[in-house]
Amino acid sequence: MKLSRRSFLKLTGTATAAATLTSLSLQGDSVAEASSYPVRLSYAKEVTSICTFCGVGCSILYHVKDGVVINAEGDPDSPVNEGALCPKGGSIYNLSYMYEKKGKPVVNPNRLTKPLYRAPGSDHWEEKSWDWMMETIVKRIKDTRDSTFQTVDENGVTVNRTTAIAWLGSSYCTNEENYLFHKMARAMGIINIDHCARL
Ligand code: SF4
């Protein structure tokens, strides 16, 4: 079949109109279907929070029923994410809860609730207390810093640094927390500082 430019435009215009009408009619069906479900706000409390995964700071709406989070989704009122979440943020519900087979929310059994420590050369993790963790980290930082601190470099220039410690920031932290971590690392003479989102 030979198509002139005019008939080609007519044909594609008709196809586009048909596709739009089909889509509208499908949307109409799903709106009608959705309206038969109870509105979540009628049985759950809505709580606004911030995604804990990275520094973008997307806003999340949580729905809580009887003290249990039953849903998490992007907050459409947030100017940061306008209701959208990346795959990581979209799975934030599973940090704490998951759905059992019948759809009931249950606490995620894989959730870590205690600090875990793996000793150098060990092949397994041990549960430790927060106090033990904090004391061990502080002691190791101090010992390493004290034994490697340089006040001057090989040319006699004052440097006051250690190159034996690297400091990695966290996307779990806010900009302000990362700013303070950065200051603390600099105050200790650490110069190898980085962050997965380069904050
Ligand atoms: S991890 Fe994704 S959803 Fe969470 S703040 Fe970052 S971009 Fe937003």
Separation between Cα atoms, residue 41 and residue 11, nearest integer Å: 46
Architecture of domain 40-107: 2-Layer Sandwich (3.30)
H or E segment and range at residue 182? helix 175-187
What are the boundaries of each domain within the chain?
Answer: 1-37, 40-107, 116-194
End-to-end CA gap in the chain: 60
**83 C-alpha to ligand 1 centroid (Å):** 11
Q: Consecutive sets of 10 residues in the chain, 199 residues long: mean pLDDT of each? A: 61 54 46 56 88 86 90 95 94 88 86 93 97 97 97 96 92 81 95 79
In short, whether 86's Cβ falls inside 6 Å of ligand 1 is yes
pLDDT at residue 6, as a whole number: 62
Separation between Cα atoms, residue 60 and residue 90, nearest integer Å: 9
**109 C-alpha to ligand 1 centroid (Å):** 24
What Cα–Cα distance (Å) separates residue 45 from each residue in 28, 51, 74, 152, 177?
Answer: 28, 18, 16, 60, 30
- Rg over alpha carbons for the chain, rounded to the nearest Å, is 27
Supply φ then ψ for residue 184, to 5 degrees.
-65, -45
pLDDT at residue 16, as a whole number: 52
pLDDT at residue 98, as a whole number: 87
**2 C-alpha to ligand 1 centroid (Å):** 52
pLDDT at residue 118, as a whole number: 97
In short, whether 85's Cβ falls inside 6 Å of ligand 1 is yes
pLDDT at residue 11, as a whole number: 59
Supply φ then ψ for residue 173, to 5 degrees.
-95, 160
In short, whether 54's Cβ falls inside 6 Å of ligand 1 is yes
pLDDT at residue 21, as a whole number: 45
> For a pocket test of ligand 1, which of 50, 56, 80, 93 has the largest count of ligand atoms closer than 8 A to its C-beta?
56
pLDDT at residue 26, as a whole number: 44
